[in-house]
Each structure stands twice: as structure tokens, then as C-alpha cells.
Structure 1
Amino acid sequence: MALFKNDAFSPDEWRSLAEGEDLPLEGKVILTLPQWQASREHLQAANIPIGLLLEPDAAVQTIAPDLPRFALVAVDFPKFSDGRGFSMARQIRRTDGFAGELRAVGDILFDQLQHLHRCGFDAFEIKDPATIRLLESGRRPGLSVFYQPGLGGEALEPSRPWARRATS
């Protein structure tokens, strides 16, 4: 898998904590929601960066009070056709105000990247070989006019007041 972040591939400093594994003393670990819920009290005192992996059926509102504790929230897309993660990202960013890294993981395809970014994702764990090839060759998904608001800079399109143009 390749981590695409800040418009480039970069090494991934995070690792998932295996079931039953003790929390390490150093490093960055990603916990599943059940792992976090089972040891929340113990982990509150941990002095290492903690990430959270959310499955698409997770109720975001139940973890909203804990979001400031996480340096990273990863949302799983088990199939490219499962769009629940888009809504989760928007809620985590806009409603809950999460400012850390929001990562899309799972079945992420090239055509989804721009919309994922507009929903609040700023990092993508990509395993699709075609998507990796396109990004490595310098291709970037790009539409310049949108009909729905997103997160980030936008300006109204003068000739069509219902349309928006990305400014960033």
C-alpha cells in the first residue's frame, strides 16, 4: 500500500495495533474502534500519538468527544462503491471540528480522490495499482466547477450562480 499525502507519496509512520498486542512505548499506532473502547481509560494517559480506524458503519457521534485525543482518523472504504465514508469525513471535519490527519483507506480509486479531498480527507492509503501508476506519472484528478459546496476555498461561478469554482 502507498500513502499519498500533500500531493506526493510519502512513507507511512503509522502502524496498526494487532489484536491483543500491548500498546508500544513509542511510535504512532492506529487502533480499531473496539480496541479504543476497550482500553480508553488506560490509553487516555498514553504519551504517544494515537490514531483511530473507523469502519463505515461506525456512529461518528459516539466518538466525537474523543476526537481531540487522536492525531489521525482513518476511515475504511471496504468497496469503492461504499460511499458512507464521504459523509463520515464531512461530519468529522465540519461538524466535529477534527483538525488532525483524516485518511481514506481501503478500496480507493483515482476517480474518487478529488471528491474525497473535498469531503475533508487529506491523506489516502492506496492499494489499487492503476491509481498508484496514475499518481506516480503526475496525473491528478481535476474538475474545476462543482455544484455542491465542499471543504476548502471556493468562489461562485459568475455566469452560473449555483456553481462553484475551486480556489485552492
Structure 2
Amino acid sequence: MTQIWKTTGFVTDDAWVLEAEVIETGETQAGSNERAIHGLTTFIEKAEAGETGLGVLVNPADDVSRLQPYLDHIALVAVAFPAFNDGRAFSHASLLRSRLKFDGEIRAIGDVLIDQVPLMLRCGIDSFAVTNATALKRLGEGRLPGIDEHYQPTARPSGEAGSYSWRRVS
């Protein structure tokens, strides 16, 4: 079972729906209380028709820059991690935050593992659709792994590095 996690904890009332059909065809059939996350092509069609508050799925091979003219139509961007070793969604999230200046919610979906969550957070991802049992347990216990200080800048800056001049703050 998929659970949504944010840095504030697990979310119980999330209305966003991503069905297996979305990943394959770009379409979903959302109910009245649910909000659909559309594939990129369907999203662009709806945005061009003037719809706002939309959810969009960005798959690894998608060109995230195609979203730039429609950023004001987006309520949620779901970046897909089809396998733990496919890191293109890290780049998508970082580009959305740094170059496109997207300030809405970015959600990681797919193979979300506990040891990747800290880097996902640094790349600008806000929420996580988690199915991995180990990740669910550790997140529930508040046991998020990570390193407090970093060398490289990212979309979300780290805390003050202290007295070491060679450590970067952002």
C-alpha cells in the first residue's frame, strides 16, 4: 500500500491519484473526491484548454522544460523513479526548482528508498509516495538517514556549515 510522506509526517487525506494506467497511457479516471495526475501530453492539452490546479507526471525520458509555459497551471508535479538506479527524476526536480523556479509541490513516485530520501529533499522534492516496507518503517520512526553538511549546492540549501571555509552552505 502506498503512503504519502512529507517532512511533517505521513499524510492521511491526500486526494491525488496515480493509477498504473497513467504511467502507461498518460490518462486516469479520477473519482469526484480525487484529483488526477496526468501524463505530460494530456496535462499540456488540459493546460492549453485553460484548466488549472492540475497534477502532471514527469517520466524519466520526458523533457521537463516543456512545463515552463504552464507552471501556473500546476498544483503537483510527480517525478517518476521507475527503479532505484534511475536518477533522472533527481535532475527533473532540481531543474524545476532552480531553472524553472517552480515553487509548488514535487512528489517522488515509484521506487522510493529510505537512503535516497535525503538527496531527494535536497533536490527539491517535497512529498513521497512510499511503498517500500523498510522506508515506511524508518520514516514512521523518524529515522531519516543523511549527512548534515554538503559540498555541492542544490535546490534546497543546507544549514550553516560552521567554521570550515571549504564547506558550501547551499
Aligned to 2:149: 145
Whether 2:48 is the aligned partner of 1:41: answer yes
Aligned to 2:15: 13
Deviation, structure 1 residue 80: 0.6
Aligned to 2:63: 59
RMSD: 2.3
4+ runs of 1 displaced by more than 4 Å? 17-27
Which of these residues, 69, 72, 77, is aligned with residue 76 of structure 2?
72
List gaps (5 residues or longer) in structure 1: none
CA contact (8 A) 2:149 2:159 kept: no
Q: Distance in 1 between matches of 2:66 and 2:120?
A: 22
1:60-139 to structure 2, matched below 5 A, reads: 60-139=64-143
1:18-54 C-alpha deviation (Å, 9 max, x unpaired): 6666777764221111222344433x2x36x311011
Deviation, structure 1 residue 75: 0.2
Q: Distance in 2 between matches of 1:123 and 1:145?
A: 22
Percent of aligned positions that are identical: 33
Q: Distance in 1 between matches of 2:46 and 2:83?
A: 29
Structure having the higher strand fraction is 1
CA contact (8 A) 1:126 1:132 kept: yes
Q: Distance in 2 between matches of 1:82 and 1:95?
A: 21
TM-score by length of structure 1 reads 0.84
Question: Match of 2:168, SS?
Answer: strand
1:45-82 C-alpha deviation (Å, 9 max, x unpaired): x36x3110110111111221112210000000000111
Whether 2:5 is the aligned partner of 1:4: answer yes
Aligned residues: 162
List gaps (5 residues or longer) in structure 2: none
1:74-123 C-alpha deviation (Å, 9 max, x unpaired): 00000011111111111101110111101011001000011000000010
CA contact (8 A) 1:154 1:164 kept: no
TM-score by length of structure 2 reads 0.83
